[in-house]
Structure 1
Amino acid sequence: MSAYDVARHFADSWGLVFLFGVFLFAVGRALRPSARDEYEHARTVVLRDEEPGK
């Protein structure tokens, strides 16, 4: 078995599990209650009328 075949087998079997874990981590981080202020700030930052550099 070549190195390519081993890497391909690993990606086929565990790659999906890894990416699903990353997805769950990102969703959990975004939906945690302590992140509300951070995302409220990010949501309204483009609507503020401020001078550049202040």
Structure 2
Amino acid sequence: METYTALRQFADSWGLLCMTVFFVGTILFVFRPGAKVRAQEAAMIPLKDDHDD
């Protein structure tokens, strides 16, 4: 079997399944309880050492 054909069959079956599971996992991770507080803390990191001298 050619390499292209094997990779295409993988992408059409297991590759699509892996990408779908990764996408759903990412969405669940972002919208989990408690994520908003951690995201707001991370958003403030660049401004943490901002001083008006």
Q: Tell me how far apart the structure 1 counterparts of residues 31 and 42 of structure 2 sit (CA, whole Å).
A: 14
Larger % of helix: which? 1
Number of equivalent positions: 49
- Structure 1: gaps spanning 5 or more residues: none
- Please tell me whether residue 40 in structure 1 is matched to residue 40 in structure 2: yes
Calculate the aligned-residue CA RMSD, in Å: 1.8
CA distance in 2, matches of 1:35, 1:43: 12
Moved over 4 A (4+): none
Partner of 2:10: 10
Q: Report the TM-score when normalising by structure 2.
A: 0.67
* Aligned residues with identical type, % of pairs: 31
